[in-house]
Amino acid sequence: MATYGESPHGEVGLQALFDSSPAPRARMSTAAETALVAGLGAMLTATFSILFGVALALGTLAVCTGLVGLITTRRPDVAGSALNVFGFCLGLLAIAAVGLRYLGLDTAFGDPLLPWIAEQLHHWNAKLPQPR
C-alpha cells in the first residue's frame, strides 16, 4: 500500500514532497527591497557633486522605507530583514556624506572619474548602430 506522496510503484512525487513540507510560506518585504535599491542608488550618486540632490532624495526614501521595513519584517511570514537593515544603513551613510559636503569636507571623490566615464560612454556608443 502506498503512503502519502508515493505512487503505486513506490516512487515519491516531487509535488507531494513540496506540499508536505513543513516550511512556512514567506514573502519578501517590498519595503525592504525598496530600501536596499534606494540605499544603493543613494550611495552611488553621493560620490558625484552634480547628483547630491538625487542622493538626498534616494537616501531619504531608503531611510523611510527602511523604517517601514523594520516594522513589517517582524512578522514571521515576511522575509527581508537583512536587506532592510543594509538599505537603511546605506541611506543613512549617503545622507551623512552629503551632509559632510555641506560642512566643507569634499566627499565627491567620483568627480575626477567623470571624464573617463564620458569617454567610455562615447567609445561604446560608437560601436552601436546609429539611428537614421
Mean pLDDT by 10 residues, the chain (132 residues): 51 68 76 95 90 94 95 88 94 92 78 86 88 79
User: How high is the pLDDT of residue 85?
Assistant: 94
CA distance 39 to 106: 20
User: How high is the pLDDT of residue 8?
Assistant: 54
**Residues 78-87, buried b or exposed e (16+ Cβ, 10 A)?**
bbbeebbbbb
User: How high is the pLDDT of residue 7?
Assistant: 52
User: How high is the pLDDT of residue 9?
Assistant: 52
The model carries a pTM of: 0.69
User: How high is the pLDDT of residue 32?
Assistant: 92
